[in-house]
Amino acid sequence: MLPKFSYPFPILLLVSTLGLSQTLLAADKEVPIGKASEKQAESTGWTGEISVGINSMSGNVDTKSANIGLQLNRETLPWRYRIAATADAMDVSDTRISESYLADFQADYVLPNKNYWFGYAGYDSNKFARIDKRFAEIAGYGMNVIDTPKQTLGMELGLGARQSTFTEDFGKENEAIGHLSADYSLQLTDNTKLTENVVVQPGSENTFTMSDTALEVGMSKNTSLKLSYGYTNNSKVFADTKKTDTNTSVNLMIGF
């Protein structure tokens, strides 16, 4: 039996966003790509991807884990939007040892040279790391450093703020933060892709670092298997928590 997520917000977000996306997909009509001089902006409908991963081991120790994710994308040039949410949990011998959530939204204003200005809002929660809830708001500039059919590299630089509320009586923190990120993709074969995403957010109280390395193998037009290794680090933690969390997972990816 899959572990239950005790905090309903991200799951509700996933379900409601998926329902919204299906409605929008049904309502959207194809818009032909016009010339740059035309007044009507180039537009595409919502596209997305669902990821599901489940693991169960039994014997001397019973271990169950599950994760679910959703990402939605839309382009109505010069605007571009992305919505994402993930939730994961792990139980060992029916005892919850890990549970975390993340949801974020980003809007880009694409420039003629394909670079862009962006605004970002994010939420995450990891009670086992004493983080009850954490919000971040960032504005910045994004660059397409490499853009070829086989590989892409995008980088972002921004400034913003972060508000953290900790569990129990550990209080709150409000701080200014910077934002540095790199997003790399390499098409190894027709159906195999390697990706690497790195985010560093230095703050006046804490520096947050995240890395996700993944190998994705396509099985059909809309489905693929994804092997990923995730790393997160907070430079400032409480005495009974660790600075670094890692996660290795195999997920089924379904595009729509």
User: 122 and 133 in contact (C-beta within 8 Å)?
Assistant: no
> What's the angle, vertex CA 83, arms to CA 196 and CA 161, rounded to 5?
80
Q: Per the domain annotation, does 164 fall within a domain?
A: yes
**CB-CB neighbours of 224 under 10 Å:** 20
Residue 121 and residue 140 in contact, taking contact as beta carbons nearer than 8 Å = no
User: What's the structural domain count of the chain?
Assistant: 1
Range of the domain at 89: 9-255
Residue 98 in any domain: the answer is yes
Report H helices in the chain.
Answer: 9-27
Give the pLDDT of the chain (256 residues) as one tens digit per residue.
444 554 444 444 444 444 444 444 444 444 333 333 334 345 568 999 999 998 887 877 788 999 999 999 999 999 999 999 999 999 998 899 889 999 999 999 999 999 999 999 999 999 888 899 999 999 999 999 999 999 999 999 999 999 999 998 888 999 999 999 999 999 999 999 999 999 999 999 999 999 999 999 999 989 999 999 999 999 988 888 889 988 889 999 999 9
Residue given tokens 């974020």 in the structure block:
104
> Could you give the angle at the alpha carbon of 154 between the alpha carbons of 41 and 193, nearest 5°?
100
Q: Which whole-number Å values give the CA distances from 7 to 4, 86, 133, in the listed order? A: 9, 12, 11
Buried b (16+ CB within 10 A) or exposed e, 23-51: eeeeeeeeeeeeeeeeeeebbebbebbbb
Rg (CA), the chain: 19
Asked if residue 102 lies in contact with residue 51, where contact means CB atoms within 8 angstroms, the answer is no
Domain annotation covers residue 152 = yes
CB–CB of 82/69 below 8 Å?
Answer: no
3 within domain boundaries:
no
Specify the pTM. 0.78
SS (H, E, C) 193-233: EEEEEEEEEEECCCEEEEEEEEEEEECCCCEEEEEEEEEEE
103 occurs within a structural domain: yes
Report if residue 114 sits inside a domain.
yes
CATH number at residue 17: 2.40.160.40
Q: Beta partners for 80?
A: 75, 108
Instruction: Tell me whether residue 200 is in a domain.
Output: yes
| 201 within a domain of the structure (yes/no) | yes
